[in-house]
Amino acid sequence: MVYEDVGNFVEVDGRPQAVKNYLTYSLRRLGTDYVDVYRPGRLDPMVPIEDTVGAIAEMVQAGYVRAIGLLTGAWTPHESNLKLVEALHKLAGARGATAAQLAIAWVLAQGRERGDIVAVVGSRTRQQLAESLPRGLGGSTDRED
């Protein structure tokens, strides 16, 4: 990410070299040799996600990052994204799941063989958490927050 001198967000830079530079700066600033999870705060629409994640994967191999985190809820409302979300909801509904459950299951499946990908579920309410977890793990949502 790039910021103006006054701290206002200007743009995202997801190029592999920029991602590595940001990580290097963070490690130095934090006074540590590695981070447990490296997750881009925003994705650069000008850089394929495979390039950005590939750079982080290289940092995993080098020992600077333990796990890769991906943000799943930061899509902008472009028409093509809305069509993808609609398709995801239909696919999930046909399987008796929520879109969040299907997305998390997909993420977990990506790391099943290698064991190096975990899903980090973020939610603001108990209801959102229950909707994200597989049935039987969400617990009761009868209580108020």
Which of helix, strand or coil describes residue 61? helix
Neighbouring C-beta atoms of residue 19, cutoff 10 Å: 23
* 83-137 pLDDT per residue, tens: 888 888 899 899 888 888 888 888 778 777 777 677 777 777 888 888 887 654 4
pLDDT at 25: 93
DSSP letter assigned to residue 11:
E
Average pLDDT, stretch 47-54?
Answer: 88
Average the pLDDT over each of 40-44, 50-54, 103-107, 110-114 and give the range with the smallest value: 110-114
pLDDT at 3: 42
Report how far apart the first and last C-alpha atoms of the chain are (Å, whole number).
34
Report the amino acid identity of residue 115: G
DSSP string, 64-129: SEEEE----S-----HHHHHHHHHHHHHHHHTT--HHHHHHHHHHHHHTTTS--------SSHHHH
pTM of the model: 0.50
The C-alpha atoms of residue 115 and residue 107 are separated, in whole angstroms, by 11
Average pLDDT, stretch 56-73?
Answer: 85
* 16-38 pLDDT per residue, tens: 999 999 999 999 999 999 998 88
Beta-carbon contacts of 8 under 8 Å, excluding residues fewer than 6 positions away, are: none
Instruction: State which H helix or E strand residue 38 sits in.
Output: strand 35-38
pLDDT at 137: 42
